[in-house]
Structure 1
């Protein structure tokens, strides 16, 4: 008989936790998306736009660093490719997107 009483007390002691409505979880999902946008997507789009602007401003005679770390001088430009000079008489063709940095004038001579 005593075990029935403990079961009754145990059943009465467990109360259901109040359930939050769906708006709280919707707000949390929206907050995570906003955080994700401002921490990851927006900075990446900004860097991509800066790189596109850098590539579009390239002109003959610019001194550059490629994504492979090669320092060179721009000899000629096409729509997608460019010819760069590594040393006197040494020229190669690369894609315009391979340029990572434009150096100030005279940098190659000072090295």
Structure 2
């Protein structure tokens, strides 16, 4: 195939304006996604991390599995928390799976 014919065919199908409109649309879509999806999720993750780092004994919590309880002991070295879910029943969960303050959640429901 002749390269001159191939180049002519490619130039005829090229978009007018140099393709800048397509690049601008892609940038605009990325900015909109960042504003409405990524940024709020990052803020929420930051709040959860701050809550997890501020935990202390006696706090009411909800685990990732939906179990309500009270923090009995925090082991910062292994990142584990002992949570009392009933009188005398204590479970150990990873600090990363404690997501919310149970008392605040109950107040929001009412």
TM-score range, shorter chain: 0.7 to 0.9
Unpaired runs of at least 5, structure 2: 1-12
Q: Distance in 2 between matches of 1:50 and 1:43?
A: 11
* Displacement after TM superposition at 1:43 (Å): 1.2
Match of 1:43 among 40, 45, 49: 40
**Bigger-Rg structure (1/2):** 1
Residue 103 of structure 1: aligned partner: 102
How do 1:2-81 and structure 2 match up within 5 A?
19-79=16-76, 80-81=79-80
How far did 1:34 drift? Answer: 0.4
TM-score, normalized by length of structure 2?
0.73
Partner residue in 2 for 1:90: 89
Q: Matches of 2:50 and 2:40 in 1, distance apart?
A: 15
Q: How many residues align?
A: 90
RMSD: 2.0
Point out where structure 1 has 5 or more consecutive residues left out of the alignment: 1-15
Deviations 1:58-83 (A, max 9, x none): 10000111111111110000121100
The alpha-carbon deviation at position 103 of structure 1 amounts to 2.6
